[in-house]
Structure 1
């Protein structure tokens, strides 16, 4: 009886400590989300709907816009695939090995999150120029080419894969890998059949986030791309050019395609996580 009363008092104390409360916190969260995200993004849909379906198709089917879409989606996909491979490898090294400078490298991985994208773009363009420190050593041109765009997108997307895969690797039990080795599996078989199934959802989430971020990247790309129409002109740059020309119909139409693509990617991530959680729950 005493224990039950103590438990009830403890529960009441815990409930009183929930400040500011579910109703108030939910209201503040929804207000914050609406003012900064939902309302600004909804204006793109509202403004685009005013030009009609025919006007929307006309704006996004212009040759220069189609070329910019192709370049943005292609370079984002290539950069994200590279980040997927090397991001998982980097996370593995940081989790499973101890070496001098490990904490420094781990801290530098977050630099693209804090570094202004324009600064990153200027730095990359300078380094990879034909007379730059790295560019003059390469047998091919990087700055002001599509290769330079991929390099910039790799930089801004790299932390997504590493930071999502890293905690999953930390929670993996090494006993499973040791058991696989005892049963005669080589390292590659252990990686494919033991490790990868545990991290594939996290790796896919990191890849999708990196891809979504790369689609809308502007600052780090605009300085290294060269911005040549039909060659190195990305979709976000087309949006900026249309805004500067007061072509709001064209700008919102091009931006809407990028917005919908990013939304679908994020929806796919959350849906995949929901499916996996439901599978394990069953």
Structure 2
């Protein structure tokens, strides 16, 4: 009876993975290598690829810088209302992407938003692409870093404090070196999430060719003009990148 239970679970898992294999295989077999090469050589695609790599790295790096202090606070400190703060940190994860873009767009129409725009223009700019990616990716980085610190014993940090270290020194010299794998995982996850971001970018930064066009908006633009082969080629490239990121995360030993 117990063996039947595990066989059933295995079949369910295998069925789900096979379903995804069929989807990817069908997409990969839709076009030809020649068509993929032609797509890659397009100036618009190369620009979108380069801009995606740049903006995703900027968004992921900024997300990690924010995730480290927030993740450490949530893992190590108890305070009133912590449950509500924890829930609020996950809001970008559960919000529909288009809603995130609308919120950004409306905020930068306010007095404060317009004052910020006078210093750094965000609406329909590359900076806006980074901000739209960051808003969502940061939530994933924070969740990953909190999980990392939760799994690390606070004992070494407590010992450092008893030896005269400050809280910052305990974080910098003890906690962060121990959390380096989690930091890599948080960066990779937020980078991959930034790469796949579409809704907020489309609403807030637009999809102007050779300006704010990134890979997800490239897929949309190619589909909108009926160029399905190019959309498929770009989609497959994003799938490959996503797989490489997941392999990197698993290699760190993190489960996110």
Q: CA deviation at 1:187?
A: 4.8
Q: Choose the corresponding residue for 2:106, options 119, 126, 151.
A: 126
Q: Secondary structure at the match of 1:83?
A: helix
Do structure 1's residue 107 and structure 2's residue 87 form an aligned pair? yes
Q: Choose the corresponding residue for 1:84, options 64, 79, 95.
A: 64
Do structure 1's residue 45 and structure 2's residue 28 form an aligned pair? yes
The count of aligned residue pairs is 252
Q: Choose the corresponding residue for 2:195, options 185, 196, 215.
A: 215
Match of 2:173 in 1: 193
1:122–1:220 CA contact under 8 A, matched in 2: yes
Match of 1:98 in 2: 78
- Give the CA RMSD over aligned residues: 2.0
Rate the CA distance shift 1:101–1:182 in 2: closer, same or farther, 3 A.
Answer: closer
CA deviation profile, 1:6-38 (whole Å, cap 9, x unmatched): xxxxxxxxxx5x486121211111112322x22
In structure 2, what is the Cα distance between the partners aligned to 1:22 and 1:102? Answer: 38
Q: CA deviation at 1:133?
A: 4.4
Do structure 1's residue 29 and structure 2's residue 41 form an aligned pair? no
Match of 1:266 in 2: 246
In structure 2, what is the Cα distance between the partners aligned to 1:230 and 1:211? Answer: 22
Moved more, 217-226 or 38-47: 38-47
In structure 1, what is the Cα distance between the partners aligned to 2:149 and 2:230? Answer: 45
In structure 2, what is the Cα distance between the partners aligned to 1:82 and 1:233? Answer: 21
In structure 2, what is the Cα distance between the partners aligned to 1:230 and 1:185? Answer: 51
Do structure 1's residue 155 and structure 2's residue 135 form an aligned pair? yes
In structure 2, what is the Cα distance between the partners aligned to 1:20 and 1:132? Answer: 61
Rate the CA distance shift 1:23–1:133 in 2: closer, same or farther, 3 A.
Answer: farther
In structure 1, what is the Cα distance between the partners aligned to 2:230 and 2:105? Answer: 29
Q: CA deviation at 1:167?
A: 2.9
CA deviation profile, 1:216-238 (whole Å, cap 9, x unmatched): 11111101112221111111111
Q: Secondary structure at the match of 2:210?
A: coil
Rate the CA distance shift 1:117–1:263 in 2: closer, same or farther, 3 A.
Answer: same
In structure 2, stretches of 5+ residues that fail to align are: none
CA deviation profile, 1:165-201 (whole Å, cap 9, x unmatched): 2133234333312322444555554334311122111
Q: Relative contact order: is structure 1 or structure 2 higher (C-alpha 8 Å, sep ≥ 6)?
A: 2
TM-score in terms of structure 2 length: 0.90
In structure 1, stretches of 5+ residues that fail to align are: 1-15, 275-282
Q: Secondary structure at the match of 2:99?
A: helix
Q: Any residues of structure 2 matched to 1:136-175 within 5 Å, and which?
A: 136-138=114-116, 139-175=119-155
In structure 2, what is the Cα distance between the partners aligned to 1:188 and 1:152? Answer: 31
CA deviation profile, 1:47-97 (whole Å, cap 9, x unmatched): 23xx22x33221112111111111112111101111111111111122223
TM-score in terms of structure 1 length: 0.82
Match of 1:57 in 2: 37
